[in-house]
Chain A
Amino acid sequence: MAHLDDFEGLTPAWCPGCGNFAIKKAFKEAMVELGLEPHQITIVSGIGQSGKFPHYVRCNTFNGLHGRTLPVATGLRLANHGMPVLAFAGDGDCYGEGGNHLIHAMRRNISVKLFVHDNQIYGLTKGQASPTTAEGTVMKIQPFGVQSEPLNPLALAVALDCSFVARGFAGDGDHLKGLIKEAMDHRGFSLLDILQPCVTFNKVNTYDWYKTRCYHIEPDYNPENRVQAFEKALEFGDRIPIGILYRNHRHTYEDGIPMIKETPLVKQPFDLSAMKGILEEFY
């Protein structure tokens, strides 16, 4: 059985107090509690402060391009669907530059676990508005305030019948750990949007801001009711629900490919001689 330290990577260069530390802690605890060893999982990230996540943990990792996390994760998962594939992305990364990949990953229902460090800002590039920054927010490069409505990732996900839709908060570590475990256990694509205060560049969405708004979704809430889930997903203001908003049991993309149903591609014998008879027909 693995220990927390087994998942420890390089010393993070995140700012002191960054919400990313809590995400890392919850991740390690969740992996240990799920009985996973570092060599058994693969993490893919994009680019951003969130994209540095794989530098600071220990397991199989791949640091991809800004916005392009999900295609890489999908390729990995198709090559070896016996291995849990986790994608860590930023809000700019995944909801902006790479937004269309998210839409198609949700449609396919590939069993990739997506964790979005949603700090409502571009952190790495030093504080520009991201797709989740509230309309009107004044920033260094948005002197007249953000002029577009924010993207609501969870409403988008429910609308697309994404098979697991949840929100966590970096300031509520135990709860977040539980959500990570649920996302991992779910069969199919999982989106966990994690509210992650950026203490340096986002002076609006602070720990206090989130703390006074976040509440645990009621225990009697039924996450399998899509219409109700859509309503829940629209709640983002004075009150912000955290927990599992929506879940369904669609068949996964992997399930739909008979060739890999029994054995992952990577474990299948690759024997060209099997083609010989077919090729000979063309001689």
Chain B
Amino acid sequence: MRDLLSGNYAIAEAVRMAKAQLIPAYPITPQTPIYERLSEMESQGTLPGVMVRVESEHSAMAMCIAASLAGVRVFTATSSQGLALMHEMLHFASGNRVPVVMGCVNRVLAVPWSFGSDQTDTLSQRDTGWMQFYCEDNQEAFDTVIQAYRISEATMLPSMVIIDAFFNSHFIEPMDVPDQRLIDLFLPQATLPERFDLNDPAFISNVVTSGAQFLPFRERAFTDMEKAKEIIREVDIEYRAQFGRGYGMVETVQTKDAQLVLVTSGSMTSTARMAIEALRDKGLKVGLLKIKAFRPFPSREVEDALQNIPKVAVIDRNISIGKEGIFCQELKSALYNSTARPRIYGYIAGLDGLDVSPEIIENICLEVLGKEMPDNLPIWVKGN
């Protein structure tokens, strides 16, 4: 069915159709409409799950972890400070190997206080052991929630489905909402292990007494996250076969003959598509690499895409102070031991939701094409 939905509503719709059974919720801008929409569905009797209004995001994640361990499918959503407050519980979720799926709407972290998009909130959770999927538009957000349940439940690792503040969360786009029947075929009811089993009691969230005991837990999670790459690819192929849409861990646009490949994530990718087209019209050989999966990091796809590419420009809507844009860092480290060795030019743009217009992106590309060597430090794009 065709529908007009904001990114937040698209996520809520997917959560309903995924039949999440327990949804702890706490408001924070710009994620609150997910919670409002789910409440509306609950009041109309169309939400198959139970919502619980909690006193903090920390509690929300604790409830997700516990309910997931008990064997039910769960969902929660947050942004910015709420995600930061959850941090402790995020490690707990991955450590306990629960397939929680969470909607995250990127918003700047205080201080200073503001509301616009900035991926630093989710990217600061990089090492918590969660999978992270950055979505370009509302359709992708919907599709990724459905896929994320399959991926998380197959790997027993939690996932964040991530969209940008306002550009995605509040902008309404036409999209396709599949039939419940088809979703049910793709994503059957959860068959999670009931880890609180009365007949076989177990010590959950256990304590170890030495590093020798600790290490295998992390190693196992690491290996499973590596294996998740194959599962992500397979689930996406199956999704495409069933619904006609797939995204891959990354997407490449006109990279084959490119002199310069632009790397983006999230909503600015749509703008970059326009900028690339305009530059191609001017005869410039520019391509695009969209990174969707950030954890696990799609090293193989990135390596493949950037073989024989002389220059790469990364636009980061985030910043790791003391280093550079986070996608830029990750890209560099993914390529260091590979045969693909482009020069990598880092740009910081769009913080706090500043518009990254097609002109800005075109100018970045022109600047990089005309520049022999990259700067050591990222270039800050102040916006119009």
Contacts and interface: CB of A to CB of B under 8 A. Distances in A.
Interface string A128-139: 110100000000
Given A122-B27, A141-B35, A143-B42, A96 B55 contact: yes
Nearest to B56: A97
A67 interface: yes
Interface residues of A, number: 21
A125 B29 CA distance: 7
B28 interface: yes
Contacts of A141: 25, 27, 35-36, 39, 53
Nearest to A126: B32
A67 B53 contact: no
A210 B43 CA distance: 29
A213 B53 CA distance: 29
Contacts of A3: none
Nearest to A129: B53
Interface in B33-78: 35-36, 39-40, 42-43, 53, 55-56
B307 to A, nearest CB: 46
Nearest to B52: A147
Nearest to A96: B55
A66 B111 CA distance: 12
Q: Most chain-B Cβ atoms within 10 A of its Cβ — which of A66, A96, A99, A141?
A: A141
Given A65-B81, A125-B28, A141-B25, A97 B55 contact: yes
B27 to A, nearest CB: 4
A167 B311 CA distance: 66
A164 to B, nearest CB: 25
A147 B51 CA distance: 11
Nearest to A63: B113
Interface residues of B, number: 17
A65 B39 CA distance: 26
Nearest to A97: B56
A124 B115 CA distance: 13
B81 A131 contact: no
Nearest to A151: B55
Interface string A81-125: 000000000000000110100000000000000000000001011
B110 interface: yes
Interface centre among A122, A125, A142 (most CB of B within 10 A): A125
B110 A125 contact: no
A66 B25 contact: no
A21 B158 CA distance: 45
Q: Give the one of B32, B42, B55, B113 with max A CB within 10 A.
A: B55
A133 to B, nearest CB: 10
A140 B81 contact: no
B53 A65 contact: no
A65 B56 CA distance: 13
Contacts of B25: 141
A97 B36 CA distance: 19
Nearest to A140: B36
Interface in A170-227: none
Interface in B6-31: 25, 27-29
Interface in A34-65: 47, 63, 65
B217 to A, nearest CB: 30
Contacts of A66: 81
A144 interface: yes
B110 A65 contact: yes
A142 B53 contact: yes
Among A99, A128, A129, A131, max chain B CB count under 10 A is at A128
A147 B55 CA distance: 13
Contact of A143 (B27, B29, B39, B110): B39
A144 B43 contact: yes
Contacts of B32: 125-126, 128
Nearest to A98: B56
A140 B28 CA distance: 15
Interface of A: 47, 63, 65-67, 96-97, 99, 122, 124-126, 128-129, 131, 140-144, 147
17 contacts: A65-B81, A66-B81, A67-B56, A96-B56, A97-B55, A99-B55, A124-B29, A125-B27, A125-B28, A126-B27, A128-B27, A140-B39, A141-B36, A141-B39, A142-B53, A143-B39, A143-B40
Closest 5 CB pairs of A and B: A143-B43, A141-B39, A125-B27, A96-B55, A97-B56
Given A99-B55, A140-B40, 16 more contacts: A47-B113, A65-B81, A66-B81, A67-B56, A96-B55, A97-B55, A122-B27, A125-B27, A125-B29, A125-B32, A128-B27, A128-B53, A129-B53, A141-B53, A143-B42, A147-B53
